[in-house]
DNA sequence: AGATTCGCCTGAGAGC
DNA sequence: TGCTCTCAGGCGAATC
């Protein structure tokens, strides 16, 4: 399930293959994704455009084009973006295939269709699309004093607060549990009760965990593969996620599983206070 | 207004 | 074997 590290890995993998390439032809499925496929905008702004950059914003993969338009993918839960031979057959759940000028095709496949494909026109502000999103975890703005301020008055568990993309982007269910374990803070603590010193730990560990996950090629729990179709390996380094009942790697006590706001949450009751 | 739940969606796995 | 049920969760809408 793609969070920030997985999307980052995909974007980095795509860049060298797409940069300088012209998108020649687009094939779309008839199925509806979370948002309708922007057929007209794809035809108008993406076909015959040259890719100049591929970058990530939050959990979006943004492909910048030479005409100023941007092709934006969200992987949702099961979305995959990868490169294939344009001549090869489409497979089940392929929703968008962009044939390039070198015989390759960029394909978006999404079993559960929680993902999306969007086009930002050259004259449109990207911020319209990303309005309301909080800072990137690696941005200077995401700091202890910022978190402290945003958490003021919020009774919500700190784990759900971290997953709120108006506060900070890119942190989903898996990494929220991992970050709080590394920071030694219980996920059930109300956000407003977390101290400045503890926020400093959260910010530091958020960056450290996400960075290690990117270096490991992301986490493959069930679906994730990079742009070349290869899985990531960070799931082997997960310390609490999916480890209910197994020993804590610090104290040896059993890892607890609790449902917070409908999401499975894993932590060590002894090491996380 | 803040916090939670629901709905979207498919496939894997469990249980009968 | 094959059916039904549960679970997985990003994220916006609905609801409490």
Lowest mean pLDDT among A28-37, A67-76, A216-225, A235-244: A216-225
Q: Is the CB of A111 under 7 A from strand C?
A: no
Strands, DSSP E only, in A77-224? Answer: 79-85, 94-100, 104-110, 116-120
Phi and psi, residue A105, nearest 5°:
-135, 135
Q: Which sign does the torsion angle of CA A137, A157, A59, A5 carry?
A: positive
Kindly state the tokens that stand for A131. 């309005």
What is the distance in angstroms measured between the alpha-carbon CA of A51 and the sugar C1' of B6? 39
Q: What is the pLDDT of residue A232?
A: 87
Nearest to A221 by CA among A33, A76, A59, A78: A78
Kindly state the tokens that stand for A237. 């380094």
Give strand letter and number of the nucleotide nearest A74 (CA to C1'): C10
Q: What is the pLDDT of residue A62?
A: 95
- In whole numbers, what is the pLDDT of chain A averaged over residues? 92
| In the predicted structure, residue A185 carries a pLDDT above the cut 80 | yes
CA–CA gap between residue A49 and residue A71 (Å, rounded): 10
Q: Is the CB of A233 under 7 A from strand C?
A: no
pLDDT tens profile A62-115: 999 999 999 999 999 899 999 999 999 999 899 999 999 999 999 999 999 999
Enumerate the nucleotides of strand B whose atoms come under 7 Å of any protein CB.
2-12
Neighbouring-strand partners of residue A74: A60, A116
Q: What is the pLDDT of residue A261?
A: 86
For range A114-134, the mean pLDDT? 88
| In the predicted structure, residue A126 carries a pLDDT above the cut 80 | no
A49-52: long-range contacts, CB 8 A cutoff, minimum separation 24? A49/A22, A49/A23, A50/A20, A50/A21, A50/A22, A50/A23, A51/A18, A51/A19, A51/A20, A51/A21, A51/A22, A51/A23, A52/A19, A52/A20
DSSP conformation class of A247: B
Q: Which residue has the tokens 């979006």?
A: A60
What is the distance in angstroms measured between the alpha-carbon CA of A109 and the sugar C1' of C8? 18
CA–CA gap between residue A60 and residue A48 (Å, rounded): 23
For range A41-56, the mean pLDDT? 97
Kindly state the tokens that stand for A150. 């945003």
| In the predicted structure, residue A222 carries a pLDDT above the cut 80 | no
Give strand letter and number of the nucleotide nearest A75 (CA to C1'): C10
Q: What is the pLDDT of residue A234?
A: 87
For range A166-186, the mean pLDDT? 94
| In the predicted structure, residue A223 carries a pLDDT above the cut 80 | no
Q: What is the pLDDT of residue A262?
A: 84
For range A167-181, the mean pLDDT? 93
The pTM assigned to this predicted structure is 0.95
Q: What is the pLDDT of residue A226?
A: 86
Do residues A85 and A54 make contact, with C-beta atoms less than 8 angstroms apart? no
| In the predicted structure, residue A267 carries a pLDDT above the cut 90 | yes
CA–CA gap between residue A61 and residue A214 (Å, rounded): 15
What is the distance in angstroms measured between the alpha-carbon CA of A261 and the sugar C1' of B6? 12
CA–CA gap between residue A173 and residue A241 (Å, rounded): 9
Kindly state the tokens that stand for A265. 């949450």
Q: What is the pLDDT of residue A137?
A: 95
Lowest mean pLDDT among A26-30, A31-35, A83-87, A204-208: A31-35
Q: Is the CB of A112 under 7 A from strand B?
A: yes
Give strand letter and number of the nucleotide nearest A133 (CA to C1'): C11
CA–CA gap between residue A223 and residue A80 (Å, rounded): 8
Residue with CA nearest C1' of nucleotide B10: A112
Q: What is the pLDDT of residue A140?
A: 95
């Amino acid at each position: 399930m793609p969070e920030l590290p997985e999307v980052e890995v995909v974007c980095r993998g795509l860049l060298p293959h797409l940069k300088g390439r012209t998108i020649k032809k687009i094939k779309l499925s008839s199925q509806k994704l979370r948002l309708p496929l922007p057929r007209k905008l794809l035809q108008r702004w993406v076909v015959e455009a040259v890719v100049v950059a591929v970058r990530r914003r939050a959990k979006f993969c943004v492909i910048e084009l030479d005409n100023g338009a941007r092709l934006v993918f969200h992987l949702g839960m099961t979305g995959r973006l990868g490169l294939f031979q344009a001549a090869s057959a489409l497979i089940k759940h392929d929703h968008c295939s962009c044939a390039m000028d070198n015989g390759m095709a960029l394909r978006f496949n999404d079993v559960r269709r929680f993902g999306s494909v969007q086009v930002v026109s050259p004259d449109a502000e990207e911020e319209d699309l990303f309005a309301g999103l909080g800072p990137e975890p690696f941005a200077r703005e995401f700091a202890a004093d910022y978190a402290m301020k945003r958490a003021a008055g919020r009774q919500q568990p700190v784990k759900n607060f971290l997953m709120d993309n108006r506060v900070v982007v890119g942190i989903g269910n898996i990494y929220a549990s991992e970050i709080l374990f590394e920071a030694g803070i219980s996920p059930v603590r109300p956000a407003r009760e977390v101290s400045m010193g503890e926020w400093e730990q959260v910010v530091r560990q958020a960056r450290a965990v996400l960075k290690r996950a990117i270096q490991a090629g992301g986490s493959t729990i069930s679906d994730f593969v990079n742009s070349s179709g290869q899985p990531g390996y960070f799931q082997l380094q997960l310390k609490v996620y999916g480890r209910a009942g197994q020993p804590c790697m610090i104290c040896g006590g059993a890892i607890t599983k609790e449902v917070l706001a409908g999401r499975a949450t894993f932590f060590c009751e002894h090491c996380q206070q």
